[in-house]
Amino acid sequence: DNGRVVIAQPAGPAQTYLGSLDGLPGNALVGAWIGSGDDAWVVGTAGAIAHWDGASWTTTPPFVTISLQGVRAWPGGEVLVVGAAGTVWQRRGGQWEALDGPPGARTLRAIDGAQPDDVWIGGLDGSLAHFDGVSWSRATLPPVAGQDIDTVQVVPGGLALRVVNTGGSVRQLRG
């Protein structure tokens, strides 16, 4: 639809409305990460990035023109975004910089991690990789291999990784 994002927090049996973003002109919103009522990020087509600080949305001028599809942030302001063509961007100290993505990666769709130096990403054709803050290592989860990965979830404690693919199957990797 119009890419509307609504930020709300539980308040007993109801929710407290905090704010919304009615899309970004010319962009569809594709991915979101919400850490709390005062820290949320959304990404979308044509390099769209916006941040919710609890009071208002701030958009980042696009520094890429491709679709960004996944985003993850951590306390302290560090953010990673992933997208088409194996794109990975990192925000550290308020500045964005391109990172080399996993070798051979195509479109990256999903991202999660316990901290910025323990991140998992997934994408087209079963692309699954781990980032240790310096370099990438590829992983395979049969029978996910060859199927698009839509969701990556790092389980608390960091000992398990759940992956959901386009077929709806869920796989878990234990470390």
Check residue 11 and give its pLDDT: 57
Confidence of residue 8 (pLDDT cuts 50, 70, 90): low
Check residue 20 and give its pLDDT: 63
Check residue 1 and give its pLDDT: 42
Confidence of residue 17 (pLDDT cuts 50, 70, 90): low
Phi, psi of 109 (to 5 degrees): -115, -30
Q: Considering the chain, what is the average pLDDT of its residues?
A: 80
Check residue 32 and give its pLDDT: 87
Please write the tens of the pLDDT for every residue from 98-147. Answer: 999 998 888 999 999 989 999 999 888 878 899 999 999 988 766 555 67
pLDDT at residue 159 greater than cutoff 60: no
